Structure 1
Amino acid sequence: MDMYMDLGVKLVISFFGLWIITFVTGRKTISQLTPLDFLSSLILSEIVGASLYDDKVNIYHLLFALVLWTTMSYLFEKATTHFVKFGYLTEGRAILLIDNGKLNQKLLNKYDMEYKQLLSMLRRQSIFSLTEVKYAILETDGSLSVMRKPEYEPPTAQDMGMVAKADTFTVTVIDKGKLLEESMLGKPIDHSEIKQKAQEQGFDSLEDIAYAEYGDNGELYIFPKGEVLE
Structure 2
Amino acid sequence: MFFVLETLFLIISAIVLLRISGRKSISQMTIATTVVMISIGTVIVQPIIEDSIFKTLAAATIFIIVLLVIEYLKMKFDFFESMMAGKAVMLIENGQLQIHNLKKHRLTVDQVEMRLRTQGISKITDVKNATLESNGQIGYELKDDAKPFTMGEYKKFLQMQNNVQQQEDTIFKEITDGHMDEHDKRLR
Q: TM-score, normalised by structure 1?
A: 0.61
Q: Deviations over 1:156-195 (max 9, x none)?
A: 344561579xxxxxxxxxxxxxxxxxxxxxxxxxxxxxxx
1:5 aligns with 2:2: yes
Q: Which has the higher strand share?
A: 1
Name the amino acid aligned to 2:114: S
Q: Displacement of 1:131 after TM fit?
A: 0.7
* Counterpart check, 1:41 vs 2:9: no
- Which secondary structure state, in structure 2, belongs to the residue aligned with residue 8 of structure 1? helix
Q: Mark the runs of 5 or more structure 2 residues left unpaired by the alignment.
A: 161-188
Q: 1:65 aligns with which of 52, 56, 59?
A: 59
CA distance, structure 2, for counterparts of residue 129 and residue 113 of structure 1: 18
Count of residues in Structure 1 that have an aligned counterpart in Structure 2:
158
Contact 1:17 1:66 in 2 (8 A): no
Could you tell me which amino acid in structure 1 is paired with residue 8 of structure 2? L
Distance 2:158 2:27 in 1: 37
Which runs of at least 4 in structure 1 moved beyond 6 Å after TM superposition? none
Equivalent in the alignment of 1:142: 136
Distance 1:37 1:106 in 2: 29
Q: Distance in 1 between matches of 2:18 and 2:159?
A: 47
Q: Tell me what 1:117 maps to.
A: 111
Contact 1:121–1:144 under 8 Å retained in 2? yes
Change (3 A) 1:138 1:122: same
Scaled by the length of structure 2, the TM-score of the pair is 0.73
Cα drift, residue 19 of structure 1: 2.7
1:175 paired residue number = none
Correspondent of 2:20 among 19, 24, 28: 24
Task: State, as a whole percentage, how many aligned pairs show the same letter.
Answer: 24
Q: Which runs of 5+ in 1 are unaligned?
A: 165-230
Higher relative contact order (Cα pairs below 8 Å, separated by 6+ residues): 2
Partner AA of 1:33 in structure 2: M
C-alpha distance 78-163 of structure 1, shift in aligned 2 (>3 A): farther
Deviations 1:77-102 (A, max 9, x none): 22222222111111111122222323
- Amino acid of the residue matched to residue 30 of structure 2? T
Matched residue type, 2:6:
V
User: How far did residue 50 of structure 1 move?
Assistant: 2.0
